[in-house]
Structure 1
Amino acid sequence: MFAKPQDMFDRDAEWAALARFAADERPGATLGVVSGRRRQGKTFLLDALCKESGGFFFEATEAADPESLMRIGAELGQYTGAAFPPRPADWHEVVDGLLRLGEERPVTVVIDEFPYLAKASPSLPSVIQAAFGPRRDERLRSRTRLLLCGSAMSFMGRLLSGTAPLRGRAGLEMVVRTLDYRQAAEFWGVRDPRLAALLYAVVGGTPAYRDGAAGGRAPGSEAEFGQWVIEHVLDRFSPLFREARYLLAEEPDIRDNALYHSVLAAVAEGNATRGGIAGYLERKSTDISHHLSVLEDAGLLVRDVDAFRPGRSVYRMREPLIVFHHAVMRPEWSRLERQGRAEQVWQDSQRRFLGSVMGPRFEQICRDWAQDYAPSDLFASPVAHVGHGVVNDPERRTSHEIDIVVSGNDAAGRRILLGLGEAKWQEPLGLGHLERLKRVRELLIAAGHPGAESAKLLCFGAAEPSAQLRSLAAEGEVTVIGLDELYAPRA
């Protein structure tokens, strides 16, 4: 096993999995696929693995096939110490050359930005499939540990799926995800929970945004947060100013950028259902099915199934910076880009920021807490899933939207309800919120929903709750979770 570099933040699980893959002494070349959106640290991770294990690292660029063949041949020659750099005629020769690297010992080989090569040479996945044939002598004699890496999520997701040539060939499939809300706070060095939540709602958990775009500096306090956003996100000369547009443009399956941006804008405006998005765009639902699927494959949208009505689902944007772009920046793009009025736009956008950015992101932080950080004794059984749901109330002719629905499994493997939660960023929580949760629990009990009788009631709030709610929490009638609890270290 290889020691993780001291300057690498977190990524313990990813490093351990990659180190096991690279150090495997068994005969036979193996293949792995590593993906993740740009600026999550994939290249840093894999480059460190190659340096630690003495492997070969090749970073592809957007280039014609002959140039890429010449480059990888030259770098292979340099790696092996050949007197003359090899000039491979095609990718068959390259892949066979990579297999020969591992004839004496396990050798890590990384091809970064693999989609660039496959775009110029669409047959390349099939070439690798043939080279990694289960009975091929060259593969059996080799202990090359080949890792294909890419940022085009839709392309990388299809690499091992369905009838793709490499399906069944990979021994490792890894998605390098963004840091979660707690990891992001630690990475940025922010100890104030409220400031950490505000910062996460804008830049999320993408590591490169700290050192590359923000100059390694987080706002020092909540009072400095607005000016920090003006300087590092809204300023037209800031690297983050056009970042949301670049994230969309990087996906090869996205060709009509304008329509995809409109779909994301619809979601940012609160149109979360397929029909709502189609109505916002004045199109039929069938007209946007493909666009929604592409955005899901790219990791920009996620579809959440209603916990109480499996046939109903809503869409939400996964990347906070894209939410911020569509809620705050896109409606004011002319003022920001042409006139440079970042300070004025920020002042005018406070209502949109709090309602369309901060509120939904806080709800997701609360769901993440329930899924990953809630005390083990809070619920009756381990948490299996956390989502949202809508419960109809026929007697009162209304419906109740529940921000946090916590579910688990009983001894027979049946899904049971563990908790119901309300999340508010601005509004102080009080008895009215608790009464609504009680009413929903009564409706679910009457409907015979498994586990409803013992489901915990949870109130998540960034503001100080009412004294009455605190009193009921002390009596065990409700669990109140504030920012301190959301960001408290795990016991």
Structure 2
Amino acid sequence: MRKPERIFGRVREWQGLASFASAPSAETPAGASLGVISGRRRQGKSFLLQALAEETDGMYFAATEATEAESLRLFTEALTRHTREIPEHPFRDWNDAISSMFRSFRGRPVPVVIDGFPFLSRVTPSLPSIIQRELGPGGSGRESDLRLLLCGSAMSVMGSLLAGQAPLRGRAGLELVIHPFRYRDAAEFWGISDPRLAVLVHAIVGGTPAYRHEFTQGDAPADLDDFDAWVVRTVLNPQKPLFREARYLLAEESDIRDPALYHSVLAAIASGCTTNGGIANYIGRRSDQLTHPLNVLEDCGLIVRESDLFRSGRAQYRIVEPLITFYGAVMRRRWSELEIYRAESVWRSSRPAFLSQVVGPHFEALCRDFAREADESLYGGFPSEVGSGVIGDPANRTQIEIDVVVLAAQEPGRSRRVLSLGEAKWGEIMNGRHVERLGRARDLLAAKGYDTRETVLACYSGTGFTEDLRAEAARDGRLRLIGLDDLYWTR
């Protein structure tokens, strides 16, 4: 099944959906199959599934926030329109509806998409159990060729469908998470060929497809000189949907009961307080009081916990959605001014904070993404684990923070190989001092028992490198200089 031209990227996602939807019954002897599609809002899940239904003559049903009776009626109408079969008796409840749905699709694999599934399960908690029963022995799904796809944006709800002792655990033949576009794909999607501009735009809107057209009406910065004006006329413009989007992303999560607390937690992380203790100090709470909100934000897919690769038990939190970081660092504290159209003055005074608190950490994250996708030739081995870490330097009574740590896979009986240690600087021309610092870190790790004999020292810069450093890199085969062109155009 060829991917429609109107769908940008998403090649692997489409292949997975198409394979699941068209698998012949001989490959699924149990009858009907179940797939679960999830992902944060605005990632194009509905767009993909609508296209799949059109290409396969399948059924697409978009649930809405409604009572159980209304949702049942809307689903019945959609099923009737698609099958052109009027039920002999009105469905009394979802038991009748799900059973009838499975019996209506026989003869060939047909996908049936139920989008917005959390809306249905919230008012009918037994719905997953009903589906499980019909897929099991003696259920109507055993004699059906239906390919049922449940889709939703509430990550905590969708993640729990197949977890632990959930009714649908072990029933799914497809579990697909739709992520934002990777940074290179995002630049292509926005039509940006300047890598510096691409980083700046990605640091605000990330790889969320909906922000390109629906939320900006197709307005993209023409070039680097247009970037500041673009920020003012789109993200900081109260008339544009992007202006309030960061607030809505949090409000849409059903598990969040105290929005003020969660906004404060996100603001703390956006301001650079990334540890549990740092967040607690920022918002004036005890560390143990943050366990639940941090877990909820992780379940919602809004933050991620990243372990220190050199200190077990230490971790930092990072906001996954760049727009929330931008809101917390730039917009939240100046909200009243932005609402009365003072975006130009707010942006002029906030731009330094944007570069240091938003773009700097975001550039480091992009460099780690680059390292994860590197092949064997760049670091002398395939990256198994990529992250950041802190190395203690007792002699100098300091700590060395490493922005990009690349480790090889652990081999039994051998010291852990450190493929690369890297430092990332967005607004600073890098020189020999940065290499000396990395070299010191390499020596300290060797003393701790790591294998650093072939470790590559890497400098990642958004501004450039001195001529002396370029000459040193030309002589030293274990020194890499990675600029913006390498970051975006090297595959």
Structure 1 length normalisation: TM-score? 0.97
Q: Secondary structure at the match of 1:38?
A: coil
The one-letter amino acid paired with 2:94 is: W
Q: CA deviation at 1:447?
A: 1.0
The equivalent residue for 1:5 is 4
Deviation per CA, 1:234-271, whole angstroms, max 9, x where unpaired?
01111100000111111110111110000001111111
Paired residue for 2:210?
208
Give SS of 2:14's match.
Answer: helix
Please state how far the C-alpha of 1:408 moved relative to its aligned partner: 1.5
Residues 324, 353 of structure 1: 8 Å contact kept: yes
SS in 2 for 1:409: coil
The Cα shift of 1:167 comes to 1.2
Question: What is the aligned partner in structure 2 of residue 368 from structure 1?
Answer: 369
Query: Quick check: 2:35–2:172 contact (8 Å CA) kept in 1?
Result: yes
The answer for unaligned runs of 5 or more in structure 2 is none
| 1:214 aligned partner, one-letter code | T
Match for residue 50 of structure 1 among 49, 53, 59: 53
CA deviation vs aligned residue, 1:43-88 (integer Å, no higher than 9, x gap): 0111111111111110000000100111111111111113579732
Q: C-alpha root-mean-square deviation of aligned residues, in Å? A: 1.4
Which deviates further from its counterpart, 253-262 or 77-86?
77-86
What is the aligned partner in structure 2 of residue 409 from structure 1?
409
SS at match of 2:463: coil
The whole-number CA distance in structure 1 between the counterparts of 2:110 and 2:472 is 61
**Aligned match of 1:454:** 454
CA deviation after TM superposition for structure 1 residue 193, in Å? 0.5
What are the Cα deviations for residues 253-312 of structure 1, in whole angstroms up to 9, with x where unaligned? 011111000000111111111111111111111101000000001111000000111211
Preserved contact between residue 385 and residue 409 of structure 2 (Cα < 8 Å) = no
Q: Aligned ranges for residues 102-113 of structure 1 at < 5 Å?
A: 102-113=105-116
1:124 aligns to what?
Answer: 127
Cα distance, 1:282–1:157 mapped onto 2, change above 3 Å: same
Number of equivalent positions: 485
Q: In 2, Cα distance between the equivalents of 1:484 and 1:403?
A: 19
Letter in 2 for 1:140: R
- The answer to whether the Cα contact below 8 Å between 1:76 and 1:85 also exists between their aligned partners in 2 is no
Amino acid at match of 2:457: L
Distance 2:88 2:208 in 1: 38
The 5 A counterparts of 1:433-452 are 433-449=434-450, 451-452=451-452
Supply the distance in 2 between the matched residues of 1:341 and 1:457 (Cα, whole angstroms).
45
- Superposed, 1:255-266 pairs within 5 Å as 255-266=257-268
* TM-score of the aligned structures, taking structure 2 as reference length: 0.97
Rounded Cα–Cα distance in structure 1 between residues aligned with 2:150 and 2:471: 56
Percent same amino acid among aligned pairs? 52
3-state DSSP of counterpart to 1:328 = helix
Aligned AA for 1:295?
L
Shift of 1:375: 4.5
Which whole-Å CA distance do the structure 1 matches of 2:321 and 2:164 have between them? Answer: 27
State the match for 1:353 in structure 2: 354
Output the CA distance in 1 between the equivalents of 2:385 and 2:407.
5
3-state SS in 2 of match to 1:242: helix
- Provide the rounded CA distance (Å) in 2 between the counterparts of 1:274 and 1:85: 59
> Which residue number in structure 2 is paired with residue 487 of structure 1?
488
Alignment of 1:237-248 (within 5 A): 237-248=239-250
The C-alpha deviation readout for 1:342-370, integer Å capped at 9, x for no partner, is 11110010111001100000001100111
Per mean C-alpha deviation after superposition, the further-off stretch among 159-168 and 324-333 is: 159-168
**d(CA) in 1 for partners of 2:166 and 2:148?**
18
Q: Is the 8 A contact 2:275 2:316 kept in 1?
A: yes
Counterpart residue number, 2:400: 400
Using the TM superposition, give the Cα deviation of residue 412 of structure 1 relative to its aligned residue in structure 2, in angstroms. 4.3
Quote the offset at 1:340 in angstroms. 1.4
**Cα offset for 1:101?**
2.8
Q: Structure 2 vs 1, CA of residues 193 and 85 (structure 1 numbering), >3 Å: closer, same or farther?
A: farther
Displacement, 1:214?
A: 1.4
The match for 2:378 is 378
Q: Distance in 2 between matches of 1:343 and 1:86?
A: 63
- Mapped to 1, the partners of 2:413 and 2:229 lie a distance apart of 51
Tell me the residue number matched to 1:99. 102
Counterpart of 1:23 in structure 2 is: 22
Measure, in 1, the Cα distance between the counterparts of 2:12 and 2:408: 24
Question: Given that residues 375 and 381 in structure 2 are in contact (C-alpha distance below 8 angstroms), is that contact kept between their aligned partners in structure 1?
Answer: no
Tell me how far 1:380 sits from its aligned partner: 2.1
Structure-1 separation of matches of 2:408 and 2:129: 42
CA distance in 2, matches of 1:432, 1:452: 20
Q: Which residue of 2 aligns with 1:469?
A: 469
Secondary structure, counterpart of 1:4 in structure 2: coil
